[in-house]
Amino acid sequence: MGTTIIIAILFLIAIGAFAVAVRSGRQARLAERRGAQSVYEKKADTSFWAWCVSAVVGFVAVLSLVLSSITLVSTKNIGVVTTFGRPSQFLDNGLHLTAPWQEVTELDGAIQTDNHIDEGDKKTAIDARLGNNSTARVDSTVVWRLKPEAAPSLFQDYRGFDAIRDNLVTREFTAAINDVLAGYNPLTQVGEGDGAINGKLATMVLDKLKAKVGNRIEVIGVNIPVIHFDDRTQQSINNLQTEIANTKIALQRQKTAEAEAEANRILSQSVSHDPNVLVSKCLDLVREKGGSPAGCWPGSAGAVVAIPGQK
């Protein structure tokens, strides 16, 4: 707006100088016809300098008008055109022509990655209340960007990019996480694994966030790598995981015992039909653990038996 006022003043000066030049020129010609040489010279001199001022100031005014009408929007930015303080349209990156009384404010149109994590001195994870009425801090990431066609309305509502991030994206992202995790009880899903559970929760948060921000923000993705449970909940999860592990061990032992019993039953039936089966089993054990195979034959009573190929 200040530039527009300056250009207007320059044009007024140029027009005023032009008017003075024209009037002084007429007066000089009139004085020349009357023979008033001194008046003629004075008016002619005034007319000349008025023409010079009008030309120079007019050129500067026109040049300023042209330059002020050219706008360059930076790469990956979105230009919001405001006319007398009211957002009216958006501009893509590149050169554009605008009216001198219009201003262009740039908003970041690149993909944004907002990390909300607890790491070292950085404590930006999102607090949430879970379905078992416990609390947790959620490490999370949201990837988003502005939709160009929504830039004017966003600028009108929030007046800047940082305000859009803080008061729209982050606020609604926090609300979406709390909405989803309010139905999540970690004590009932211990056996599924953190990766699978967090992936499902992230998908639900993504859908919820898209619904909250509407068509003004493009939400590209949500990731929930870690959920930091409170001490009481984490201890309960650890105890449940220990019990699950013990149950798996007990089930495996049961399967092993059943398999050994079945093997013994089959071996017993085989021996009753063919005693050489027991001899073969004994020889297998001798090969595995070492020792003399002499006692593997019924009636050997520990006597040394010559085995072909043995020395």
- The model's pLDDT over 72-82, given as tens digits with 9 standing for 90+, comes to 999 899 999 99
Residues 242, 196 within the same domain = no
Domain boundary among 107, 126, 154: 107
Residues 225, 143 within the same domain = yes
What is the predicted pLDDT for the residue at 306? Answer: 41
Residues 64, 84 within the same domain = no
Domain that holds residue 200: 112-229
- pLDDT < 50 regions, the chain: 301-311
Residues 149, 179 within the same domain = yes
Residues 250, 271 within the same domain = yes
Residues 169, 245 within the same domain = no
Residues 19, 56 within the same domain = yes
DSSP string, the chain: -HHHHHHHHHHHHHHHHHHHHHHHHHHHHHHHHHT-HHHHHHHHHHHHHHHHHHHHHHHHHHHHHHHHHEEEEPTTEEEEEEETTEEEEEE-SEEEE--TTEEEEEEE-S-EEEEE-EETTEE-PEEEE-TTS-EEEEEEEEEEEE-GGGHHHHHHHHSSHHHHIIIIIIHHHHHHHHHHHTT--GGG-GGG-HHHHHHHHHHHHHHHHHHHHTTSEEEEEEEEEEEEE-HHHHHHHHHHHHHHHHHHHHHHHHHHHHHHHHHHHHHHHHHHH-THHHHHHHHHHHHHH-S-GGGGSTT-TT-----TT--
Report the percentage of the chain scoring pLDDT > 70.
85
Residues 182, 132 within the same domain = yes
Residues 218, 120 within the same domain = yes
